[in-house]
Structure 1
Amino acid sequence: MAITQLTYPHQEPELTGEDIRLRNWARNSRLGLPGSVVAPATEAELCDFLSTSDGRVRMIGSRMSPGRMIEVADGAGTLLDLSRLSGLISSTEDTATFAGSTSLAEVYAFLTARGQMLDASPGVIAEQTLAGALSTGTHGQGLQQSSIAGAALAIRMVLADGTVAEFDHDHPDFPAVQLGLGSLGVITAVTLRARESMIYTCVKKAVDAGTLETDLETWNRENILVKAWWFPQENQVQVWTANEASDDEVSRYRAGGSQLVEYATTDTSMNSTIEATLQHLRDDSKGVADNGKSLRTVSRFRDFTDVTGDIYQVFCKGIATPQINVEIGIPLARAGAVIRTIKDWHAETRPRMHYPVILRCTGASEGWLSPSNGQDTCYFGFVVYYAADGSLSEEGSSFLRAVERALAEEGGRPHWGKYFDESLYDWPALYPQWEAFRRVRETLDPEHRFANAFTDALLD
């Protein structure tokens, strides 16, 4: 398959009024034309709109995906703003049903107040909508769970003709609906499995990356939740391993009002590494963007300490700032070989990196289009930040293109909600149920009303 020279979009740094609403979160893509946004207040209004109108439709959610995922075809069509269809719908002792546009932060807050958590660890950014997180495969870390969609017991959708369809876990099409790329229908309700909240103690260490090839799987097999950040230029890794807190640690946590406990002893061993990465970012940024948030995402690795808290307090700590983020899932069994490849490539090219390589592993997913479908998976994440003028450094862009090619050659599956070069992938070969998904799409949306140029090329 031919490899194209992927060009990452530059950002429009200053936008006002409706133009902000018509751009994605990173402000690097226009989603539709002025006047194209429709915002139904109820599911009934949504049904009425779809049944009495025609033309292409896309859902904008929190707009955190690349623009090509959200934008309507050729700028024409309707953008559905479903922000008024949010909040808790109902709950039982061990389930909670939320409207699709409910933010993950609201989901987590409701469960935390009940002393519960999802049966899936969170991604770092809680501003995402629940429907968007399912539709793109948002995931956390830990081999005992997979993507957030794995916690879904039932999903309700409004179809292209305005009818309502419900899919429970036993429905034959459920694995397609779990991760549908916004191409099957409008998710209006999701029933999630909840369980008693566990309090974790997260131990943070700085380790040498010399044996990372074998250490990564060992860490993940021996601990409940693991997240690692690899700084290749300094041959260091900051690794977080989280396990159930001891009785004494839980007592201290409760005595403090169930607020995150940060222990007094801090580790400064990575501070020089962090400063070197920050210097690369400052040099390439030509003036930092977004009020310096990019610098804060890196500086948080300084002076780290162990903590005790619930899963959201420990892991849901992301700082949302526009960036180009490439994330590729690799079968865990091949992760060591990929790490060796990156080490060799890095030693030869010495690229300037704005952020460490993010390493998160999950268990297998049932979702047909999940990058972790059918296999334990290690996700390799790479980030390049925008400069204040909306540009990207050429070295950073070249780094992302090169590393994606290397991972694609290893059978990698890209995260749908991030940036990737689709020309690198043979989708039917990567996803055993690719044709089954396409058949479900033809049944639920035979006229491809929820398609745009990107999904048309992907699925047709």
Structure 2
Amino acid sequence: MDTTQLAYPRQEQDLAGEDTRLRNWAKNSRLGPAGSVFAPATESELCDFLSTSDGAVRMIGSRMSPGRMMQVANGSGTLLDLSRLSGLISSTDNTVTFAGSTPLADVYAFLTARGQMLDASPGVIAEQTLAGALSTGTHGQGLQQSSIAGSALSIRVVLADGTVAEYAQDHPDFPAVQLGLGSLGVITAVTLRARESMIYTCLKKAVDADTLETDLETWNRDNLMVKAWWFPQENQVQVWTANEASDDDVVRYRAEDSELLEHATTNATMNDTVESTLRQLRDDSRGLADDGKSLRTVSRFRDFTDVTGDIYQVFCRGIATPQINVEIGIPLARAGAVIKKIKDWHAQTRPRMHYPVILRCTGASEGWLSPSHGQDTCYFGFVVYYSADGSLSEEGDSFLRAVERALAEEGGRPHWGKYFDESLYDWPAIYPQWEAFRRVREALDPQHRFANVFTAALLD
């Protein structure tokens, strides 16, 4: 397998007239041949299709993952577009059940309207489907919670033979189904735990990175939620710490019709750092892709201000733009040593970076294939943007490969929904329940109907 090509593929440019469902979101992979998409209108129709047909099947969701995760085997088979199986199915006072292909944005909107939130904090963007978020380990930040899958109480799955199975938290296979890589079946419904929404005040500050090795864990132990962006070249960190808002802040927030409240004072101390990063991004891009959205993602670190809002207003504010995003989970107890290693490597190589290193920590997950399985985890995120011609700069490509090798050597576990070079990882060594997951997969899909080239290389 050509792992180099799989890891960081070039973006395709001329896709005129092609069914957009045949390409992933970043437009760097073709998912299947023309005419391979099947879009059932009901779960019953899906069951009939699986029970009366054969051949490989993969789910495309919102196509946010690398193409290799969704491609059908050997370029043939069926791509399942389940977008018609979306929306609220039922709810109680403290639970909600949504169809698997419901966009996270719709889940969050429903919960917000009735003054609720999930136990899990959100990721940056909400274009993912609920099933896709579970299947790849989408997560937010905060040691008191883990991935979005941690909010799941039960998961309904259509198996390869068209039968339906329900998995509740007490089912022995539930930790496998929580994060199944699309290899166990088709998730058609998820019941989630909901709780009363909290209003947060998020304090933002710029600090130097001299003591980041110890500061990161301290911030996370002392606050409900933390997110940090580290600019190694300038030795600066922008850190957000979010906690329950004061009564005064809540009153001001409600007076503004519960819209995100920006506090009056802005902080310009990182503006020079931001300009330095923007110059490198412009130089390396040789023409900006996606209408310059990449510049806007960096520019937001200028003139920052504290905010008050609900969890989705505060944290789910990303700008979706195609990119190569590598994210590796490291045990929190070893994060300081990894930060020191990156500092030493950066001092020697002085790589050109398009975006700061993203630092998000979560609590342990019960999902067997979750990067945070069994341990508090710090996720190190690295981003390189495409040029207008669909290429990656040589500097950006080299940077990603170097940092991924360094973190893999530390026992890192890559985020399944992002980019990584699988040849760097000894999966059974870093996942204690790897063989248990494989046994569940053999039981649920003995013919490996939901496999493709990528998952077969991992699991067979």
SS in 1 for 2:211: helix
Kindly indicate whether the alpha-carbon contact (under 8 Å) linking 1:6 and 1:401 is maintained by their aligned counterparts in 2.
no
CA distance in 2, matches of 1:449, 1:77: 10
Task: Look up the match of 2:402.
Answer: 402
Q: SS where residue 404 of structure 1 aligns?
A: helix
SS of the aligned residue for 1:12 comes to coil
Aligned pair count reads 459
8 Å CA contact 1:38–1:80 kept in 2: the answer is yes
Q: Distance in 2 between matches of 1:356 and 1:225?
A: 19
TM-fit CA distance, 1:128: 0.3
* Counterpart-to-counterpart distance in 2, 1:52 and 1:17: 31
Residue 6 of structure 1 deviates from its aligned partner by: 7.0
Q: Is the 8 A contact 1:214 1:336 kept in 2?
A: yes
Q: 3-state DSSP class of the match of 1:207?
A: strand
Query: What is the deviation of 1:19?
Result: 3.9
Q: How does 1:102-121 map to 2 (within 5 A)?
A: 102-121=102-121
Distance 1:405 1:202 in 2: 34
Matched, 1:159 2:159: yes
Supply the distance in 1 between the matched residues of 2:51 and 2:339 (Cα, whole angstroms). Answer: 51
SS state at 1:18 partner: coil
8 Å Cα contact 1:3/1:424 also seen in 2: no
Structure 1 residues 24 and 4: CA distance shift in structure 2, 3 A:
closer
3-state SS of paired residue (2:140): coil
Displacement of 1:20? 2.3
Please tell me whether the aligned partners of residues 61 and 132 of structure 2 are also in contact (alpha carbons under 8 angstroms).
yes
CA–CA distance in structure 2, aligned partners of residues 19 and 396 of structure 1: 30
**1: CA distance between counterparts of 2:238 and 2:404?**
23
Residue deviations 1:340-398 (CA, integer Å, cap 9, x gap): 00000000000000000000000000000000000000000000000000000011000
Question: Does the 8 Å CA contact 2:61/2:101 hold for their aligned counterparts?
Answer: yes
Contact 1:4/1:423 (<8 A) preserved: no
- Residue in 1 that maps onto 2:392: 392
Distance in 1 separating the partners of 2:194 and 2:429: 35
Contact 2:201 2:308 in 1 (8 A): yes
Residue identity in the other structure for 1:34: A
State the shift of 1:21 in Å: 2.0
Counterpart for residue 258 of structure 2: 258
What TM-score, normalized to structure 1?
A: 0.99
- 1:228 and 2:238 aligned: no
Deviation sequence 1:205-227 (CA, Å, 0-9, x none): 00000000000000000000000
1:297-308 aligned within 5 A: 297-308=297-308
| Residues 1:88 and 1:4: Cα distance change in structure 2 (over 3 Å) | closer
> 1:117-156 maps to which residues of 2 (within 5 A)?
117-156=117-156
Measured in 2, the distance between the counterparts of 1:310 and 1:4 equals 41
1:362 corresponding residue in structure 2: 362
CA drift of 1:13 comes to: 2.5
> What amino acid maps onto 1:66 in structure 2?
P
Write out per-residue CA displacement over residues 257-309 of structure 1, whole angstroms, 9 at most, x where no aligned residue.
10000011100000000000001100011110001110100001100000000
Q: Which residue of 1 aligns with 2:280?
A: 280
Letter in 2 for 1:361: C
Instruction: Note the C-alpha offset of 1:17.
Output: 3.0
Q: Cα distance 1:41–1:132, how it changes in 2: closer, same or farther (>3 A)? A: same
Measured in 1, the distance between the counterparts of 2:4 and 2:85 equals 40
Structure 2: distance between partners of 1:347 and 1:417: 30
Segments of 4+ moved more than 4 angstroms:
2-7
- 1:80 partner letter: L
The aligned amino acid for 2:177 is V
Is 1:94 aligned to 2:105, yes or no? no
Q: Structure 1: how far apart are the matches of 2:69 and 2:231?
A: 30
> Aligned partners of 2:173, 2:376: CA distance in 1, in Å?
22
1:181-192 equivalences in 2 (<5 Å): 181-192=181-192
Counterpart CA distance in 1 for 2:441 and 2:246 is 48
| RMSD (CA atoms) | 1.1
**Cα distance, 1:347–1:5 mapped onto 2, change above 3 Å:** farther
The AA in structure 2 aligned to 1:51 is S
Question: Match of 1:54?
Answer: 54
Q: Deviations over 1:12-32 (max 9, x none)?
A: 134233342210000000000
Deviation at 1:3, TM superposition (A): 9.4
AA partner of residue 217 (structure 2): E
8 Å contact kept, 2:6–2:68 = no
CA distance in 2, matches of 1:327, 1:452: 23
Identity %: 86
Distance 1:5 1:134 in 2: 26
Q: Residue 383 of structure 1 aligns with which residue?
A: 383
Supply the AA of the counterpart residue of 1:452: N
